[in-house]
Amino acid sequence: MVSQADIGKINEVTEAFVKAALTRNWAALAGLYVDDAVLNPANNPGVKGRAAIKAWFENFPPLTSFKATNVKVDGQGDLAYVLGVYSMTIAPPGAPAPINDTGKYVEIRRKQPDGKWLIAVDMFSSDLPAPSPAP
């Protein structure tokens, strides 16, 4: 079981992720992943490696609000998992209105020698129904 101190460090990384996403600081956000991390976004193929993850997020539409809450954190040794929920408002360029989204995520975190818990595997999906194909 991870300690309360480690849970605090994991939550700090989640807070840094939210801040980086809201400010579109993709270099800082990508730095929260281990070098060989895997991002598995909904409705997209898996993205492998920190550089590719940064590039993927660079194409993400602007966010006007974003919250992430770690609901459960557990693990052992230098591995932990995080179950969480998110809410965000996306403002895609040219869209008629912002899009409000809620969803969930699962992360596997790896503790680094400096005590920071970086993301090794990240998977998220929306609670909204998948978009219907155009007729």
Residue 100 has pLDDT above 70, yes or no: yes
How high is the pLDDT of residue 81?
A: 98
Residue 134 has pLDDT above 70, yes or no: no
How high is the pLDDT of residue 133?
A: 72
In order of their start, the domains of the chain are 4-126 (3.10.450.50)
Residues 6+ positions from 85 with CB-CB distance below 8 Å: 68, 69, 71, 102, 103, 104, 105
For 61-88, the pLDDT digits (tens) are 999 999 999 999 999 999 999 999 999 9
How high is the pLDDT of residue 132?
A: 72
How high is the pLDDT of residue 104?
A: 98
For 7-58, the pLDDT digits (tens) are 999 999 999 999 999 999 999 999 999 999 999 998 889 999 999 999 999 9
Strands 117-126, 33-41: pairing kind: parallel
